[in-house]
Amino acid sequence: MNVQKLVSMKGKQPIVMITAYDAPFANIVHQAGVDAILVGDSVANNVLGYSDTLPATMEDMIRHTQAVRRGAPEAFIIADMPFLSYQCSMDEAVRNAGRFLKEAGANAIKLEGGSFYVPLIERLVKAGIPVMGHLGLTPQSVNVFGGYKVQGKDEKSAKYLLEEAKAIEKAGVFSIVLEMVVEETAKMITESLSIPTIGIGSGRYCDGQILVLHDLLGLNPSFLPKFAKRYANLYQESLEAVQRYAFDVRNRAFPSEDNVFKVGG
């Protein structure tokens, strides 16, 4: 997979993406045959224990992107630009984006925001850094939105999102994530662009879909957003496995004869 192949899939075959954060899960995801892996700044709340994505740092993202690359050496990997890694200055943004390709082995970066970031997107693309856009509910702006709210619900906001999408498409993004956009608006945007849209909570008509692996696998029992589908319940399975281990240790059933070393053995 590469940028050109991903773009060529628009209108021909749905694009499958998953957000993952470490080597073991990246290996599983790649072996399952997904088209691309996103190393999301949602590592902050899904792995590091924060309540939202804002605390994720460049060092967090570099480390986790490196881990995903080691776990899936042949995968197409997109790395999230974390909060304040590209908002402060263009030069700093280019340096940070370049680190993902140079140090972490990413194939592309993703950044949130619309027309305001057109000059930055143009500069990144000219520097040889492929850029994925992100519109709709942009989690780094959760404090501006006043919470996690569905976007594009009326004609005015739908038109605004379409204009923003066209602006960043013209600037050079190769794809756009649409997050929590009403289905009708996401469909209109998808049909108006020549690049793929990747939906998360944006209905059935995007060119592809992305889910966070932890949601898909049921690793967080207290969180199941409307747009996600739980394909496993690994939280419960993991809990029961550790409980069985604890029981065996306390009852001296583990380690057993099969788990020990002996003189001359």
With contact defined as beta carbons under 8 Å apart, do 78 and 35 qualify?
A: no
State how far the alpha carbon of 194 is from the alpha carbons of 89, 106, 182, in Å: 30, 24, 20
Place of tokens 């602006």: 167
Q: Quote the distance between the C-alpha of residue 239 and its chain's center.
A: 26
Is 179 noted as a catalytic residue in this protein? Answer: yes
Alpha helices in 103-233 (DSSP H): 118-126, 142-145, 155-171, 183-192, 213-216
The reply to whether omega before 196 is within 30° of 0 (cis) is no
DSSP 209: E
**37 phi and psi, to 5 degrees?**
-115, 130
Largest CA distance in the chain: 79
Q: Which of 164, 179, 183, 184 is catalytic?
A: 179
Plot region of 172 (φ>0 → left; ψ -120 to 50 → alpha; else → beta): left
Q: Which amino acid is at 126?
A: K
User: Which residues are annotated as catalytic?
Assistant: 179
